[in-house]
Amino acid sequence: MSLERLIYSVPAILIAIVLHELSHAYVSYRLGDPTPKQTGRLSLNPIRHLDPLGSLMLLFVGFGWAKPVQINPNYYKNRKAGTVLVSLAGPFANFILALIGSLLISLVRRLVGDSITFETKAGYQAFVYLLQFLYYFMMLNIGLGVFNLIPFPPLDGSKVLASVLPEPAYSYWMRYERYGQFILMVILYVGLLNKPLSILRNGVYVVMQTITNALVGL
């Protein structure tokens, strides 16, 4: 990976991961669970949220994970419903960030096209870097949101699935959850998920562009 790409990809990854995990922690805390606050996860400090291996996977493969937020569903009024809300909070935050990135791309292009003339190469290059960052930021958050909705441990989608399973199936599912991360790494390495994830990511991208065009058109 080139130094040029690292300059805009690292900040994008930090923002995406931190707000993803902070959303999990905040929703659980608002549902009455003190665990995220006690474990220091109600924080914008990236060190509290980053998983080294998951971050490297995200940087070089395009899909990855962060350090799971510890929660205690026993504090929720409805254990299963609360778990679903907390699990969906992270991907939802990523989709919101992707939409913000899409809106900023459209607005910056309009602003520059309508009122700004670059007189220096440096000014033009700064504009190019800004658009590269925003586009990477948008696609990264779309990818992170889609990836985490896969119903496979330790991803958020697996917790949503587990919450709607009958109790015997839930117990069986959780029994093998600790092996999920290693199996997931193998699946990602051999590329079994590349095509389905690409299709889903492109589908969400089309939705984002449709919403962006409608909002900018207003």
CB atoms closer than 10 angstroms to residue 60 = 10
> How far apart (Å, rounded) are the C-alpha atoms in residues 125 and 200?
32
Half-sphere exposure of 101 (CA within 13 A, CB side): 24
> How far apart (Å, rounded) are the C-alpha atoms in residues 28 and 70?
9
The distance in angstroms from the start CA to the end CA of the chain is: 39
89, two tokens: 């909070």
From the list 21, 119, 167, 177, the catalytic residue is: 21
Tell me whether the omega of the peptide bond preceding residue 36 falls within 30 degrees of 0, making it cis.
Answer: no
145, two tokens: 């949101």
> Is 21 one of the catalytic residues?
yes
> How far apart (Å, rounded) are the C-alpha atoms in residues 13 and 138?
11
* Closest listed residue to residue 15, CA positions, set 62, 66, 63: 66
> How far apart (Å, rounded) are the C-alpha atoms in residues 26 and 38?
12
Residues with catalytic annotation?
21
